[in-house]
Structure 1
Amino acid sequence: MPSISARIPDDERDELEEVAALLGEDKSTTIRKALDEGLKELRIRVAVERYQTGEISVTEAARIAGVPLAEWLDICRERNLTTQLSAADLERDAEAARDL
């Protein structure tokens, strides 16, 4: 497994140590979990923003978010997202969903 290093402020280091202790894990494991969860949330945030502006389709949003289409639709419902897509865009998305 490759290694990376990063400089973090003292308060973030303290928080890392506290969370690692709460989880009963070493700092490296806690960092990997935090990075994984954070990257997933960042992908979803980008997908939400682009989907909400109509820049991307529902299938493209699911791809960017790194989730299956059904899970993306759950995210949309949970976040009360509305689409800015045209009827043609929606039909194309429906066709793509049927092909899955």
Structure 2
Amino acid sequence: MPSISARIPDDERDELEDVAELLGEDRSTVIRKALGEGLRELRIRVAIERYQSGDVSLNQAARLAGVSLGEWFEIARDRNLTSQLSPEEVEREADAALDL
């Protein structure tokens, strides 16, 4: 597994120590978990922004977020996203989803 290093402010280091103690895990494990969860959330946020601006379709947003179309619908529901799609576009998206 490759190694990386990063400088973080003292308050973030203290937070890292607190969370590691709370979880009963070492700092490296907590950093890996936080990075994984943070990267997932960043992908979802970008996908939401691009979807809501109309730059990407439902399928493209799901791919950007790194989730299945079903998971994307759950994300959209949970975050109250609205669709600007016409009925024809919804049908096209559904057909495209069947091809996945």
TM-score range, shorter chain: over 0.9
Distance 1:86 1:3 in 2: 48
d(CA) in 1 for partners of 2:74, 2:89: 19
Q: What CA deviation, in whole Å up to 9, does each residue of 1:10-69 have, x standing for no partner?
A: 000000000000000000000000000000000000001111111100000000000111
Question: Normalising by the residue count of structure 1, what TM-score does the alignment of the two structures yield?
Answer: 0.93
* 1:90 CA drift (Å): 2.5
Letter in 2 for 1:13: R
Which protein has greater RCO, CA pairs closer than 8 Å, 6+ apart? Answer: 1
SS in 1 for 2:77: helix
Distance in 2 (alpha carbons) for counterparts of 1:39 and 1:74: 19
Paired residue for 1:26? 26
Q: How many residues align?
A: 100
- Residue 63 of structure 2 corresponds to which residue in structure 1? 63
For 1:84-95, list aligned pairs within 5 A: 84-95=84-95
**Contact between 1:57 and 1:89, CA under 8 Å: does it hold in 2?**
no
1:70 and 1:82 mapped to 2: Cα distance? 16
Structure 2 distance, partners of 1:16, 1:26, is 10
In structure 1, stretches of 5+ residues that fail to align are none
After TM superposition, list the pairs within 5 Å mapping 1:45-84 onto structure 2. 45-84=45-84
Percent identical pairs in the alignment equals 72
Runs of 4+ more than 3 Å apart: 85-89
Answer yes or no: is the 8 Å Cα contact 1:48–1:61 preserved in 2: yes
Q: Does 1:97 align with 2:100?
A: no
Report the TM-score, using the length of structure 2 for normalisation: 0.93
What is the one-letter code of the residue matched to 2:55? E
